[in-house]
Amino acid sequence: MPLTSTDHIIDPAYAAVRGVGAFNVVQIEHAEAIVAGAEQAGLPVILQISENTARYHGALAPIGLASLALARAARVPVAVHLDHAESVGLVREAVEIGFTSVMFDASKLPYAANVAATRDITAYCHRADVWVEAELGEVGGKDGAHAPGVRTDPDEAGAFAAATAVDALAVAVGSSHAMLTRDAVLDLDLIARLRASLDVPLVLHGSSGVDDTDLAKAVAAGMTKVNISTHLNKLFTRTVRDCLRKDPGVADPRKYLGPARDAVAAEVARLLGVLAAA
């Protein structure tokens, strides 16, 4: 299937109260694995490239264009999304090279400034028919995400979505970025109240720290787009370590990157099944 608009993947899932997996690409093996896993599962998927990853590669275009090419050749619907962009210039570059959606993150700004910046980005992206995600209630590190007062307020979320015209909203409900364990405690009641307060899909960031059971519960409570990165990176790295331990003299990187890619593909297929069945 050709590259697919993000809303064509998200909207049916939102209506049916199903989850969609959005997995982060760090290098081309990740993108290949994510697409292969989606094809194994027979389910749509979203490839995400963060501002940090664009910086790692020196520019967005190399890894972005590769991901777009893989999406266009996929046998299932695949969207390509810019994740956690704080740079307006990077958002514009993503739109220009063909990304189907962007996540503009002005959550560190005061509320009024977040609204103003996000509204401007949304207007620009919508003119190019690009879907926009924003964040309210910063999903920070593990300690911050569980501190009093940082979780997203449903009334404020509703007002923010209306003021900015965003297509989806990432909310702080107890998950945390870059968790190495899957023991985050989600506020499922808050997720349900947020779903009832907004007319746009909810996005769960930091989902690597959430186990399968709670991922399914989060989707049932109202989450639609579920972002997963660290969990797959751990598996990728562990597989590489195992390969190098078994064969310390290996020189060809395909000998250890290939198995890591295969392991991630299998886990993507499994996680997509968890989210779709919720």
- pLDDT tens, 40-94? 999 999 999 999 999 999 999 999 999 999 999 999 999 999 999 999 999 999 9
- Residues 223-239 pLDDT 10s: 999 999 989 999 999 99
Structural domain count of the chain: 1
Segments forming the whole domain that contains residue 248: 6-277
Q: Is 32 inside a domain boundary?
A: yes
Three-state secondary structure readout of the chain: CCECCHHHHHHHHHHHCCCEEEEECCCHHHHHHHHHHHHHHCCCEEEEEEHHHHHHHCCCHHHHHHHHHHHHHCCCCEEEEEEEECCHHHHHHHHHHCCCEEEECCCCCCHHHHHHHHHHHHHHHHHCCCEEEEEECCCCCHHHHCCCCCCCCHHHHHHHHHHHCCCEEEECCCCCCCCCCCCCCCCHHHHHHHHHHCCCCEEECCHHHCCHHHHHHHHHHCEEEEEECHHHHHHHHHHHHHHHHHCCCCCCCHHHHHHHHHHHHHHHHHHHHHHHHC
CA dist 162 and 156 (Å) reads 10
Q: What is the pLDDT of residue 141?
A: 46
Give the phi and the psi of residue 96 in degrees, each rounded to 5.
-65, -35
Residue 41 resides in a domain = yes
Closest CA to 199 of 224, 167, 173: 167
What residues have CB less than 8 Å from 94, skipping those under 6 apart?
60, 64, 82, 85, 102, 130
Q: Name the residue with higher pLDDT: 148 or 152.
A: 152
Residue 176 has pLDDT above 70, yes or no: no
For the chain, the straight-line distance linking the first and the last C-alpha, in angstroms and rounded, comes to: 25
7, 83, 105, 153: which one is catalytic?
83
CATH value at residue 28: 3.20.20.70
CA 80, CA 73: separation in Å to the nearest integer?
13
Tokens 């020189």 identify what position? 251
202-215: average pLDDT:
83
Q: For residue 1, is it within any domain?
A: no
Cβ atoms of 152 and 137 closer than 8 Å: yes
At 189, the pLDDT band (50, 70, 90 cuts) reads: confident
**What average pLDDT does range 104-132 have in this prediction?**
93
Examine residue 200 and state whether it is found in any structural domain, yes or no: yes
Strand pairing of 202-204 and 223-228?
parallel
pLDDT at 127: 97
Return the axis-axis angle of helices 254-277 and 28-41, rounded to nearest 10°.
40
Q: How many CA atoms lie within 13 A of 86 on its CB side?
A: 8
With respect to residue 61, please indicate whether it lies within any of the assigned structural domains: yes
Pairing of strands 78-85, 131-136: unpaired
Structural domain includes residue 17: yes
What are the pLDDT digits (tens) for 134-144? Answer: 987 655 544 44
155 assigned to active site: no
Q: Is residue 210 part of a domain?
A: yes
Is 235 inside a domain boundary? yes
